[in-house]
Each structure stands twice: as C-alpha cells, then as structure tokens.
Amino acid sequence: MTRVRVVVIAGLGALLLAVPQTAQAQGSAGDISGGYRLIHGADETFSVGWYADVLGNITDSFGVVGDVAGHYKSVDETENIGGVQVNVSGNLRIHTFMGGARLTWRRNPRITPFVQALVGLAHGSAEFEGSATVGGRTITVDESETFSEFAADLGGGVNIRATDSMSVRVAGSWFRVVEEDAENAFRFSLGVVFPF
C-alpha cells in the first residue's frame, strides 16, 4: 500500500513539474464528459458501466479532474456438484469516486491527447442467492457483502473534436483497488466531451 502511494505522489509531482509557471490563453475553463466504461481484471470483466468527469483548467495544459463511475455484472450459474444441482445468481457492483490531475497537449485543435493520475475511493458490493435440492429438501443461501477501499487510476486518452461544441473521447487506464488480495485491472472509456 505504501509503494502505491509513493508512485501516485511521484506521478502527481512529475505532472506538476511539467506545468508551465505562467498560464497560456485557454480555449475553455474546462469540460464535462460522460459515457461508457468497461473494467477488465484477471478474473472478471464488468462490461456494463458508465463514467462522468469534470475538468477545471488551471493553465492551458494542466487541470484538476473529478471522476465518478459505476461498473455492474450479473451472475447466473447452475452446476452439478456430486449429483446435486446448485443454482447461484448474484449482482456485483463497483462505484468509484476519484480526483486528481490531468496534463493535456493542445497543439492540434482537432486531436487533444491527455494523461491523468487519479486517486480516491472504490466502493463495491456483492449480493448472491443460491439454492440446492438434496433428498427432496431445498436449501437456500442469501449472502451480501460490501467494501470501501483506497483506489488509484493512471492512464490517458484522446479527445477528437467532432464539432465546435463537442468531442469524442477514447481513453484507457491502469486501475487498482489497494487491498491485500487486489489485482490490477484495465479500464476502457468511450464518451462525449463538452467544453464550458
């Protein structure tokens, strides 16, 4: 956990050092974006998801960003274990609430790449129901659990201008919930961006 914090702090420091000391003329005060987000880990893929973020520009190339997202997965499985049919269904949810810094290159007005470092909270929940029939008797199980853990997200993307008032975003990032048994994951985002 300490190593991740050092990496995140070093990354944010590198971004701050890359920022020019004087602000250039900005095209906008910031932007708001929203759209689809997928998360893929070693064992699970949450293909249903969304994100929304807000960027406030401090200079032409550096800004502060807030990001919220939701990832969802349903499970419905039937297995035969030792001659007993077991039915399991469940719902998994992960919501993230993150903030950080974004560095943007604005040399081409139509294509605007960026990198960002975010830290914050990941809140997950799982609800499972299961049943099995043994000797004419049905046994049911109903379980739920939640967690809230520190999370980090490092990545970037590109905004491609479609009109004067809208761009399309394609982005990807490395994502990790910082807990003992956590694994690295990849997040992919596709959305629209509106400057303000």
Q: What is the CATH number of the domain that holds 47?
A: 2.40.160.20
67 neighbors 35 (Cβ within 8 angstroms): no
**pLDDT tens per residue, range 145-164:** 999 999 999 999 999 999 99
Alpha-carbon torsion (112, 101, 70, 46), positive or negative: positive
Q: What is the mean pLDDT of the chain?
A: 86
Is residue 144 included in any domain, yes or no? Answer: no
Q: Are strands 62-81 and 84-104 parallel, antiparallel or unpaired?
A: antiparallel
Is residue 44 included in any domain, yes or no? Answer: yes
Closest alpha carbon to 73 in 34, 44, 51, 41: 44
Alpha-carbon torsion (96, 102, 105, 106), positive or negative: positive
Which of 28-32, 108-112, 132-136 shows the lowest per-residue confidence on average (mean pLDDT)?
132-136
Q: What is the DSSP string of 106-162?
A: -SSSSEEEEEEEEEEEEEEEEEEEEEEEETTEEEEEEEEEEEEEEEEEEEEEEEEEE
190 neighbors 25 (Cβ within 8 angstroms): no
Is residue 78 included in any domain, yes or no? Answer: no
Is residue 136 included in any domain, yes or no? Answer: no
Is residue 12 included in any domain, yes or no? Answer: yes
**pLDDT tens per residue, range 60-119:** 999 999 999 999 999 888 888 777 888 889 999 999 999 999 999 999 989 999 999 999
Q: Tell me 43's DSSP state.
A: S
Mean pLDDT of 139-146: 89
CA 58 to chain centre: 23
* Domain membership of residue 14 as a residue range: 2-19+29-72+95-120+152-195
The pTM score is: 0.77
Q: What's the CA dihedral at 157, 111, 68, 128 to 10 degrees?
A: -50
54 neighbors 30 (Cβ within 8 angstroms): yes
Comparison of pLDDT for 23 and 31, the residue scoring more: 31
Count of structural domains, the chain: 1
Q: How far apart are CA 165 and CA 60, in angstroms?
A: 18
CA 152 to chain centre: 9
Is residue 102 included in any domain, yes or no? Answer: yes
Q: How far apart are CA 23 and CA 58, in angstroms?
A: 7
Is residue 57 included in any domain, yes or no? Answer: yes
